[in-house]
Amino acid sequence: MNKPYFLYIIHNSGACLFSHNFKEDLGIELFQKDLFSSFITAISTFSSELNQKLGYSKKYGRLPSIPLNISFEIMIFYKDPLIGALVVEKNDIDDDMKNFLNELLNEFLIIYENNLQCWDGSVDIFEVFKNEIKRIYNKMEILSYQIPILLEGYENKSFLSEIYTHIIKEINNQQNIKEISQRMGKPVDEIKTMISNLLWLEIITLSEKVSDDDIFEPKKDLFYLIRSNEMNPNKVDLKVTESDLKLLGAIDGFKTIYALSEEFSGLSIHEIKKIISNYLSKGSYIEKVELYPRIIRISDDILNKMTTETLALAYSLENICDGELSLADISKKVGIPIREIKKTLDILGKHVIYKKKYIT
């Protein structure tokens, strides 16, 4: 997870209890905290009141984010009596960043629960929370298949200890964390801790996380890569293995990572995630999509071939899959894993159509 820019923890009265600048060493200045907190409180209150008048509950009426421009966004999280606001680059918004903001508020509430209950308006006591931020950041999950990628200008970080210069020498933007740990003869967890510190220092970034239920669609450059390799493999600049090409060629915008792992039994799901993560991070080869299935009808011929369990799920899906809910939404609604839902939808074949939403 890349570092955000600014954090503000705001009391629902409008007072800014705590602010932190993650980019202070770059000379980037915080927004004026009192002005910022008043803005966030006012627009959140307005949004909540407006949505209540429209019939939405308090939970769904709160504003989750505010775009600042084409590149930046303010993420907002509510945990009474606090409002957390994180200024981030839009490309960095993912589950990790959302969990980070949530965890910051949780920790703040735990540490200052008594102070908040009898708060006298002073904010000095909250200043030491800055000592907790790096600890919370380092708790964010790093996966062993992720590939560390050196950022431009890392050579200027002359304050690193010898052990960190050793790990940097092993980072070639191709090896994942597990492979680096094997080369260095150190436990994976120890390497993860070091990687987390390098992330905090903004010396590296990591390849994207990939889950079993993720679905990816090929982009134009992937077709070009595959075609170029078929015509003249010696002229392809990117290092592409035969297993990479076969896996990448099977990406069609409908298969989950789990489905690909069943199709490519010679590759472990860990290896598949590593390959997908690598090409996803390059930006121009594949993109993540969400599917919104709609069942047109289920023919009797297909129903007769289904097991009792699959048949029961198919009937449930027929009433839910209207093209307005994503696979993740449907999974929550019926309490069945996405992989099982997708298997059933694949059996229905042409009787299911999908809308797609691209995850940027």
Least confident of 49-53, 101-105, 116-120: 49-53
Return the higher-pLDDT residue of 46 and 261. 261
CATH number for the domain that contains residue 80: 3.30.450.70
Residue where one domain finishes, among candidates 266, 288, 310: 288
Residue where one domain finishes, among candidates 138, 169, 196: 138
CATH number for the domain that contains residue 323: 1.10.10
Does the residue 143 lie in any domain? Answer: no
Q: Domain check: are 65 and 184 in the same one?
A: no
Give pLDDT tens digits for 311-347: 889 889 988 999 999 999 999 999 999 999 999 999 8
Give the pLDDT confidence score for residue 158 in this predicted structure: 63
Q: Domain check: are 14 and 84 in the same one?
A: yes
Does the residue 1 lie in any domain? Answer: no
Distance of alpha carbon 200 from alpha carbon 222, whole angstroms: 32
Q: Domain check: are 319 and 264 in the same one?
A: no
100-106 contact pairs (CB < 8 A, 24+): 100/1, 100/4, 100/136, 100/137, 100/140, 101/7, 101/75, 101/77, 102/77, 103/136, 103/139, 104/7, 104/9, 104/133, 104/136, 105/9, 105/77, 105/79, 106/79
Q: Domain check: are 27 and 101 in the same one?
A: yes
Q: Domain check: are 193 and 269 in the same one?
A: no
Q: Domain check: are 122 and 67 in the same one?
A: yes
DSSP 8-state code for residue 81: T
Structural domain for 321, as ranges: 289-359
**pLDDT band, residue 11 (cuts 50/70/90):** very high
Q: Domain check: are 263 and 314 in the same one?
A: no
Does the residue 193 lie in any domain? Answer: yes
Does the residue 177 lie in any domain? Answer: yes
Looking at the structure of the chain, the number of domains it has is 4
Q: Domain check: are 188 and 219 in the same one?
A: no
Q: Domain check: are 270 and 328 in the same one?
A: no
Q: Domain check: are 130 and 15 in the same one?
A: yes
Q: Domain check: are 174 and 190 in the same one?
A: yes
Give the pLDDT confidence score for residue 59 in this predicted structure: 59
Q: Domain check: are 182 and 296 in the same one?
A: no
Q: What is the mean pLDDT of residues 123-141?
A: 90
Give pLDDT tens digits for 175-203: 899 999 999 999 999 999 999 989 888 88
